[in-house]
Structure 1
Amino acid sequence: MSYVTIDAYNIGEFSYWFHQTWTTGLQLFLALLIVYYSVGMATIAALVAVVLTVIGSSPLTKSQLIYQTRITQQQDRMLKAITEALANMKVLKLYAWENHFREVIDTIRKEELVSISMVLLHRGCMMMLFWSIPLIVSAVTFWACYLLSIPLDASNVFTFLATLRIVQEPVRLFPDVVTKFIEAKVSLDRIGKFLVAPELQIINLHGKIAYVSQTAWIQTATIRCSLVKDVEMLPNGDLTEIGERGVNLSGGQKQRIQLARALYQDADVYLLDDPFSAVDAHTATSLFNEYVMEALSGKTVLLVTHQVDFLPAFNLILIQSPGMSRVTLFSLYTVIGCTLPLFMFLRALSMVRLGCDASESIFSTLIHSLFRAPMSFYDSTPLGRILSRVSSDLSIIDLELAYKLTISLGSTLNAYTILALLATLAWPVLFIIFPILYLIMVLQRYYFNTAKELMRINGTTKSSVVSHLAESIAGATTIRAFEEEQRFFTKNLVLVDSNASTYFHTFSASQWLIQRLEIPCAIVLSASALAMTLLPLGDSASGLVGMALSYGLSLNVFLIVAVHYQCFTAESIISVERLEQYMHIPSEAPQVIEAARPPANWPSHGQVEICNLKVRYQKNSPLVLRGISCRIEGGDKIGIVGRTGSGKTTLISALFRLVEPTEGRIVIDGIDIATIGLHDLRSHFGIIPQEPTLFCGTVRYNLDPLSRHTDPEIWEVLQKCQLREAILQKEEGLDTSVAEEGSNWSMGQRQLFCLGRALLKRSKVLVLDEATASIDNATDAILQRIIRTEFAECTVITVAHRIPTVMDSTKVLAIADGKLAEYDAPENLMNEEGSLFRQLVQEFWSHSTNN
């Protein structure tokens, strides 16, 4: 992601800064010719001073390159860690791991701040060095003139100083040029390395391919597919907007949308990666018969599945095994020239401290706000929108804001100081300066009102680029399987062009301002020269005339720099404004309430009482749970069943307070869960979630990220989870790597990892949210046996599509349309005519028998 949000922009900006390299050199060459005309052989001293300054900055440049490379690597690590945490925030909240992952991010941030401080310090030193060049060159040249007996009068002093002032701005931009060159080189190397990396290859098949992945990939768009019953339930039919990653759809609805998308392709070959595991038996049978057997009857179908009931319908089955005098004046000038760099160095140190403190404050507030945000925030906010802020906007604050603010303040103070001196030496010029200053303020205000909006639009269009890219990366396999790369690439180019257009207009507006600043500044200079010419100063004041004209030139330079960098700073503050939008998100309930902390062994019995529970996800949205009441005794094994979208997962979300009840309450062992802190609640429960999530790291880290258990305990759990043999085959053992999103482990293995976490935690209340959907029947049986054995004394609440999973439950809780349809022992419900549970069982066995 950082290749797009940071590196690509660094390379794009360099095309402008590149021209500063040769124009600065050309201006210096022409300036030396004019200086030679003014002071003769003393020009050699000026040239030597410039050359020595550039040579002296070489080690600084190399060091800056090293730290810039390091900081881009740390930005990569930071963005990867934040992306992983935010994308899996639901899992972090369920496991009560938010604090740990925030500490991991804080650790990376501390390392990054060291590099940021060094980069800022290097920039400050470069700024000090090159801003001192005019003073150093002036002092050296004056002493050379004195030693070579070259006469100095108002004419050649003014010409000499005026020439230095003219090239002062290009010279002072040199640190920026060096910085941009370093950033562009580092970014180009990184992108070049990425582009030559080997590409992913997929299976070679003849004919058009349609692919349905095991984990549903849903775009942020409308539905527009044939899910008749589901579409009827939605407010805008097939034009209902789906949120990011399908947050407003159930697991079964996501899979059916995938299946519909594949069917619309009318492909020759259909690759179906276990798409029926996320739906109930009735829906699975209906989909298999109508989709595979009828709609795809004339197509080649490769189905990967754990549901062996479907296998008799296939032609071939492939089974895989389980990866004051002239001297006085010159002396005074030299002292000033040597003292000023010292103050500039102190200013550079202040800039580093200011920049790092501001970055740390903003970052810590932002991360705390994001980690404490409720799940409703993540359900309604695209991940790309957040990532564009924590990448590009945060990078501007880290590396640009303090630097630009320092130059802005310094230039402004210099401009006002020179204005005061000029008023003393040539007071008539004030009649011109004050109107000109007013004109400049009007121009600046007019420019900034436009630039500010352009910067906001730029940020919005960049967020669109990042969101689309993140979505495309997540569905890369599906996109390639459908051969839709060109369409997504074209859309990406449209979004990039939209962002580039805004950026171009921002740059054009900046150049518009520079051009209009040049004219008033030229008027000030002309007025200064005219005033000094008309004032009766006499021959003795010829040096004063040269000095005043020099000040007029300096005022021009500093006015332009001051106004320009004031605008740059204001534009950078737009990034602060964009981050500020996410720095004060209304947070979920407190993690810990000291006055209402549960006992350490809570829950000790596991008794759960649900009283008139009503839940809605948004304030004005319809109720998802509509008054559920039931009592679960400690140690009971409860099965929760119902059709897809009935509200089963919402009930689990309410139990963990991912969503707060609209009405009603949940009481566990005598404690209303709404009265205690979220960390105290979630950390005392065990869960095997619907989507098995693994994190980048090792096997040990994924089972025990908080490092609370010994290696023998982990190995014992791996043995019980049927993972020990697979991990023993790896040389690294518990240090075996886990790739991003656990992509180097199968879906079933990921689910067994989640079981391992629950076994290590050993909570009195265990929740299984459709935890066996991604594993075969044999592994499911093993998992259920482990749960019955290891959690025999615990309350186990199981949401399942597979009816055998809940047949031996103490009671079955059946939900229909958000209401409690029935709650009784499974054998009683089986004997009850018209029971929903009985219907689901009959559908399941009918489906199995038919197959």
Structure 2
Amino acid sequence: WLNKLFRISSNRTLEVEDLYQLSSRDKSDVLLKNFDQEWNKELEIRNHGGKASLFRALVRLFGTGYLLLSIPCFISLAGRSVYPIFIGLLVGCFSPQSTATKTEAYLYTLGLCLSIFFIVIFEQPSFFGAYRHGSQIRVVLTTAVYRKTLKLGSGTISQITTGRIINILANDMLKFNDATKFLQYLWVGAIVGIVMLVILWLQIGIASLGVIVVLIVTIAFTTIIASFLARERISYLKYADERIKVMNEIITGMRVIKMYAWEKSFAKYISNVRKNEIKHAFRIAYLRAVSISMQFVSPALMLFCSVVVYGLFGNHLDVARIFTVYSLVQGIRAIFMFIIPESIQNIKEASISLKRIEDFLLSDELQPLNEEESEKNRDVTQAAPIQITNLSVWWSDESRPILKDLSFSIKKNELYAIVGPVGSGKSTLLITLLGDVKTFKGQYWIQGNIGYVSQQAWIISDTLRNNILFGQEYDDEKYNQVINACALRKDLELLPNGDMTFVGERGVQLSGGQRMRVHLARAAYYDADVYLLDDPLSAVDVDVANHLYQQCICGLLAKKTRILVTHQLHHLRSADQIIVLNDGSIEYIDTFENLQLKSSIFSMPAQEQSPDAENDYRKIKFVKLYLDTPNFEKKRTESYANNKDKNGQVIEKEIQKTGSVSWRFYMNYFVSAFGVIPSAIALVIFFLTQASLNVTDWWFSRWSTAYQNASLSNNGSITINTVILFELSNLNVVGIYAGLLGISIALVFLRSWILARMAVKASEQLENKLFQSILRTVIHVFDTYPSGLILNRFSKDCAQMDDNIGYSLMFTVQCILLIFGQILTTAIINPWMLIPIVIVTIPFLILRKYYLNLSRDVKRLEAAGSSPIYSHVSTTLQGLTTLRSYGASSRFLQEFQHHLDRHTQSWITFISSIRWNSFHADFLSALLVAGVAFGLVLLPEGSINVGLAALIISYSTNLLGVVNWTIRTSSELENQMTSVERVDEYTKLPKEKEFYQKDDPKSEWPKFGRIKFEDVSFAHSEHLPLVLKSISCEIKQYEKIGIVGRTGAGKSSLIASMFRLAEPRGKILIDDVVINNIGLNCLRSAISVIPQDPVLFIGTIRKNLDPFNCYNDDQLWKALHEVEMGAYVSQLPNKLSNEVAEFGANFSIGQRQLLCLARAILKNNRILLIDEATANVDLATDAIIQRTLRDKFINCSVLVIAHRLSTIIDCDRVMVIEAGRIVEFDSPYVLLQSDGYFNKLVNETGTEESRNLRHQAENYHHD
């Protein structure tokens, strides 16, 4: 099947469908089933007080297969121990004193060829089996890690972090491919190596101790190096985990980072982490360089010691014996200096990864409810499907309880509402009921399946319809009922392909309100028995919220048991019961009417409990911006129409280039490390190194011949004065040989050091360029490229550049120069030997061309196939609680296995092509040995010096494996260089304008906050249609402007244009300064923003408030106290230095919002944009925010993003945008006097609310 694939690849680019179809033994589901049988035994041992071992489980699963691989491995190594004997016998035939006949010479040649063909035939099946087992280990552990992820609670995930999980999958799993390839050679090689040492002893006796001493010293040295490497790898992986973890946050939160102008802070953080990572990468590279150099020069050292010692003991040293020793030493070196140390090193590195994986697989996971135990202790009937008894909950063992001693039951088909201050435990209660918290005491029991709607909408990268169906069968009637109940009908009409529109990763083509409605529709379509709804109404407009509440929650789901977390108290009148939480405890459980008499939350005036008047108590008039999100509206969705597939899919996929990697990338790679001149000097050193090695070999062959001739002429008696070569004494000859050898060894170490430094330095420079490019690229890139795709550049591709490319580069350069040097030396010795070399070279070149075509395409398919794996993992981690609540874990595991199996297809094809190439390369090398050996035998007697004939034969046998290894390493290098190619591609992403300009305004700008738009048009990208068209208006100093309009009108684009997230056309002026011409850092630093979805990053609270260390502790504490977060932070163990978990998971959304408000207070800018800061907070927190705005931002132009018209009715003026144009702009009262857009929007809120809004507008107008 590979021959067919090679033919296809020579004619066209390979597609996934062309690749190897996986057999059952390679499929992830079969492997996982077998793995579970062995792993469960280990877990049973652990349950009985023992220690579970992942290694033992893998040995039982794959050990037999590895033992069987030892058979072909032993045969191939036996061939390597036999052919040196035939070399000695054949070389002896060329001695002038030889009595061997031509027939004997031919028989020795035939023996040599047969032993080599045995190596060729049996070596590659052994390697293929090892690689395949490595692939199976990688697949089964990858699947096990992902499955384990599906069982981890939210608290455990926040401690482990997404970055660590992705790094395990991206880097740790690769170590098993390397560890298994020589595993069977570890013990078989040791046996054959000992046999070779015995043969060596029979050849040169006690002088073989010189070889053994060098061998022991070198093995000890490389073992020490391996231990250092293992230690350095642990440190390297620690910093790699940290970098990937932070990069995941940066990629996800890039919009916020840009609006806060925090690029410099994150760049500094990543730079510090990367410096530590690169420091260990350099050490790993240098240690590897020393190890490889020792392997490379050890044969020469062994030969020198053995031959010199043998000769100095007065023994007769003929050329045949010398080159038998030479060939034996090469074999001994290959086993003890390459195969065994390489195995030990790879096993050590893999053991580190195995320990990390084992720790992960043994981490605490959520346990399913013990229904039998619950049955004994519950007093539940069909009428009470939820019961909680004495429930307390902790996020971790060390933390204080989030929920304290809760006890209540919920009746069937009733609506229970949960209210309470920010951080009171409302969301924690819901995810506890989902079984997503592992540390609790007490009991809870839920009858029936659960539909869960999280506070932040979770959308998968698929069509809108599939997001709603979520694996359920399509039922047209039921589906349309859900669409109507969730107010999605008009949205489907606006989307380019209706419900078959591909919404992209995280739903990037949908607005925030649309995402939440799709999120709710998924739950409604699921048709669960119990619904847990975590404040889904806050993310949508007031009229849409009313529709969702009446038509979906109290309509379509009326006959379901429902728990609704909300801050919108006006909806609670129809709730059957209301639970009031405060500081994790139940304060009240009662009806709305009774709670009005009991709870302070419900004791405020009625107008504060209605959407019409909940802002009446606010005494400040500030600007409200009425919109769904600052991201994407209908117009933007429509703008993708020319850049989509049949499903409206516009999300960028992994780009699969064709053809060979351009030499430009190689040049850039080398030059980026050292520069042009140092790179040229390095190349000269490389050639000088190889020249010195060949000159040393030539000198040795001449000396050995002269040594033999002198010995024979003196009847085998050697004295200091009997050997004269080039008029030098024997000691001088030995001295020259030792000197040449010393120079060669020094140059080999220097060459390896240069290559090691070059590889890591180039990686460092390219990764820096990549990071700067990602940091400086336009926000449109993050909206269209899946996060897994971008993260893959920073994980797998950077790991390739840090680690694998340098390793392949060392071997490729040394092997190419070795082949070139040996061919040139052979040609100089006897030009006739070029005939078999040229004859074999032609098929070698054809073979490499075919192999490169195939391996390059397959490797690119393999790289492209890995991105869906990481994207799937990232999506899973973002919505882990949600997918578990729908019982979708098995389906997501199957989808993951599908992605993994597609990747394994390309990987198995790739390693098969390697073995195919290796077999044919070795076969051609064997033919070359046969051609050279028979050619030498055919030469007239005495036409070639015995030493030079021996050198030619040795060189030809050396090419066995070296040529194959060179083709492989050069091909692997080219395949690995596709990582450089992909990184280079991302360094050329479209960039924003400069951060800094020489004409930037002074630091006190702006003083007044005046904003002016002059004929401003705006598109989210150059190739997309305009979403703002000829906007012209002026906002006065400290003026409060509300901006309203329907979904897709262009409201968010107005904000994007002010931050220059894409470059606007026309002019925008702030305090008479044209912002189009100033640096982005200056502009964005001058505008404060509080986003709708508050974002916190990994690091300390201090770092999240003040990433540039501009403020002292007193200022930070003052800001925290002003947003009433000071008391909470002061009780944390490390206060301002307390760590923030990934994505701020250890803070509630309301607390995150208050921290964002504290950021704005610290910046003290004259322009503030607030993106519905009160959407996800209770009324008490809302009051804190409004009071803070009134007290701290009175002298600012404040723009607040909101969903409720009641929050913009008190503005100085209201701007109405429709289809990207301003259609109305005046005070609310004036606009309500005409039959315009704003008047229609108010009328659509309903009779009672419309009357209240008009009344408020009139009151503010006459104030």
Task: Give TM-score scaled by structure 2 length.
Answer: 0.65
Quote the residue 1:177 is aligned against: 343
Per-residue deviation, 1:838:
6.5
Change (3 A) 1:638 1:669: same
Partner Cα distance (1:517, 1:839) in 2: 76
1:189-200 correspondence to structure 2 within 5 Å: 189-200=355-366
Are 2:256 and 1:91 aligned?
Answer: yes
Match of 1:775 among 1174, 1177, 1181: 1177
| Alignment equivalent of 2:1034, drawn from 620, 623, 631 | 631
Partner of residue 294, structure 1:
555
How much has 1:192 moved relative to structure 2? 1.2
- CA separation of 1:335/1:125 partners in 2, compared to 1, >3 Å: closer, same or farther? same
The residue that corresponds to 1:217 in the other structure is 458
- Shift of residue 551 of structure 1? 2.4
SS state at 1:318 partner: strand
State how far apart, in whole Å, the 2-side matches of 1:586 and 1:816 are: 30
- Identify which range, 629-638 or 753-762, moves more after superposition: 629-638
Query: In the alignment, does 2:997 pair up with 1:583?
Result: no
Alpha-carbon deviations, 1:829-849, whole Å to 9, x = none?
A: 344455525743772784799
In structure 2, the residue matched to 1:707 is 1109
Amino acid at match of 2:447: H
1:567 partner letter? S
Task: Identify the residue that residue 240 of structure 1 maps to in structure 2.
Answer: 501
Find 1:518's aligned residue among 922, 928, 931.
922
Q: Which residue of the partner structure matches residue 1160 of structure 2?
A: 758
The letter of the residue matching 1:197 is S
Provide closer, same or farther for how the CA distance between residues 26 and 494 of structure 1 changes in structure 2, counting only shifts above 3 A: farther
Matching of residue 280 in structure 1 with residue 541 in structure 2: yes
* Residue 333 of structure 1: how far off its partner (Å): 4.4
Q: Structure 1 residue aligned with 2:242, among 65, 77, 80?
A: 77
- The AA in structure 1 aligned to 2:1037 is G
Unaligned runs of 5+ in 2: 1-165, 368-431, 436-445, 469-482, 585-702, 708-729, 1253-1263
Distance 1:844 1:365 in 2: 55
Cα distance change on mapping 1:223 and 1:845 into 2, 3 Å: same
The one-letter code sitting in structure 2 at the alignment partner of 1:160 is V
1:514/1:422 Cα in 2 relative to 1: closer, same or farther (>3 Å)? same
Query: Among 262, 272, 277, which residue is 1:112 paired with?
Result: 277
Mapping of residues 547-562 of structure 1, within 5 Å: 547-562=951-966
**Alignment partner of 2:582: what SS?**
coil
Q: Which residue of 1 aligns with 2:1207?
A: 805
Verify: 1:159 aligned to 2:324, yes or no: yes
What is the match of residue 647 of structure 2?
Answer: none
Structure 1 residue 680: deviation in Å? 1.4
Q: How far 1:21 moved relative to its partner?
A: 2.3
Cα-Cα RMSD = 2.3
Select which of 997, 1002, 1013 maps to 1:610: 1013
Q: Is the CA contact (8 Å cut-off) linking 1:714 and 1:760 kept in structure 2? A: yes
Q: Which moved more, 1:714-723 or 1:547-556?
A: 547-556
Question: Helix, strand or coil for the counterpart of 2:1177?
Answer: coil
Q: 1:18 to 1:447 in 2, by over 3 A?
A: same
The secondary structure found in structure 2 opposite 1:592 is: coil
What aligned pairs does 1:252-651 form with structure 2 within 5 A after superposition? 252-322=513-583, 324=703, 326=707, 328=731, 331-536=735-940, 538=942, 541-594=945-998, 596-619=999-1022, 621-651=1024-1054
Using the alignment, how far apart are the partners of 1:271 and 1:826 within structure 2?
38
1:206 matched to which residue of 2? 447
CA 1:844/1:587 → structure 2, altered by over 3 Å: closer, same or farther?
farther
Equivalent in the alignment of 1:141: 306
Distance 1:279 1:537 in 2: 97
Q: Higher mean Cα deviation, 280-289 or 349-358?
A: 349-358
Give 1:652's aligned residue.
1055
The answer to whether the 8 Å contact 1:127/1:175 transfers is no
Instruction: Show CA shifts across 1:497-554 (max 9, x none).
Output: 1112211111111111111111221122222222333434649943443333222222
Describe the SS at the equivalent of 1:18. coil
- Partners of 1:234 and 1:421 in 2: how far apart? 71
1:3 is displaced (CA, Å) by 0.9
CA distance in 2, matches of 1:570, 1:26: 36
Q: Which amino acid aligns with 2:167?
A: S
Paired amino acid for 1:36: W
Quote the Cα distance in structure 2 between the aligned partners of 1:177 and 1:845: 79
The CA deviation string for residues 743-797 of structure 1, in whole angstroms up to 9 with x for no partner, is 1111111111111011000111111122221112232232122112211111111
Shift of 1:728: 1.9
Structure 1 residues 66-90: Cα deviation after superposition (integer angstroms, max 9, x where no partner): 1011101111011112111121110
Alpha-carbon distance change, 519 to 835 in structure 1, aligned in 2, over 3 angstroms: closer
Distance 2:229 2:546 in 1: 64
Deviates more, 1:30-39 or 1:97-106: 30-39
**Pairs within 5 Å for 1:701-850:** 701-833=1103-1235, 836=1238, 839-840=1241-1242, 843=1245, 846=1248
Once the two structures are superposed, residues 238-260 of structure 1 have per-residue CA deviations (whole angstroms, 9 ceiling, x without a partner) of 01111221222111001001011
Aligned 8 A contact 1:611 1:629 in 2: yes
2:1054 partner amino acid: L
Please give the alpha-carbon distance, in whole angstroms, between the structure 2 residues aligned to 1:271 and 1:420.
Answer: 78
* Counterpart contact for 2:260–2:1089, Cα < 8 Å: yes
The CA distance in 2 between the partners of 1:23 and 1:563, in whole Å, is 26
- Cα distance in 1 for partners of 2:892, 2:950 equals 64
* Equivalent position amino acid for 1:643 in 2: R
CA distance in 2 between partners of 1:343 and 1:848 (Å): 87
Bigger mean CA deviation after superposition, 536-545 or 787-796: 536-545
Task: Work out which of the residue numbers 1100, 1106, 1109 in structure 2 matches 1:698.
Answer: 1100
CA positional deviation for 1:112? 1.1
The offset of 1:23, in angstroms, is: 4.4
Q: Is the 8 A contact 1:696 1:741 kept in 2?
A: yes
Count of residue correspondences: 848
Shift of 1:826: 2.3
Amino acid at match of 2:1074: D
Letter in 2 for 1:687: V
Q: 1:167 to 1:415 in 2, by over 3 A?
A: farther
Distance (whole Å) between structure 2 residues aligned to residue 524 and residue 335 of structure 1: 33
Paired-residue identity, %? 33
Matched AA of 1:218 = I
Using the TM superposition, give the Cα deviation of residue 273 of structure 1 relative to its aligned residue in structure 2, in angstroms.
0.7
Instruction: Report the Cα offset of residue 330 of structure 1.
Output: 5.1
Corresponding letter in the other structure for 1:823: F
5+ residue gaps, structure 1, are none
CA distance in 2, matches of 1:490, 1:341: 54
How many Å separate the matches in 2 of 1:837 and 1:724?
Answer: 43
**Distance in 2 of aligned mates of 1:647 and 1:546:** 82
C-alpha distance 200-741 of structure 1, shift in aligned 2 (>3 A)? farther
> Which amino acid in 2 is paired with 1:52?
V
How far the C-alpha of 1:27 sits from its partner, in A, is 3.7
Task: Say whether the 8 Å CA contact 1:429–1:524 is kept in structure 2.
Answer: no
Please state how far the C-alpha of 1:173 moved relative to its aligned partner: 4.5
Asked if residue 28 in structure 1 is aligned to residue 193 in structure 2, the reply is yes
**Larger Cα-atom Rg:** 2
Q: Report the Cα distance in structure 2 between the residues aligned to 1:50 and 1:431, rounded to whole angstroms.
A: 37
SS in 1 for 2:1017: strand
Which one-letter code corresponds to 1:511 in the other structure?
R
Deviation by residue 1:420-446 (Cα, 9 ceiling, x = unmatched): 222233332211111212221121111
Q: Is the 8 A contact 1:285 1:847 kept in 2?
A: no
Change (3 A) 1:540 1:453: closer
Q: Is the 8 A contact 1:5 1:392 kept in 2?
A: yes
Match of residue 1082 from structure 2: 680
Q: Is the 8 A contact 2:922 2:961 kept in 1?
A: no
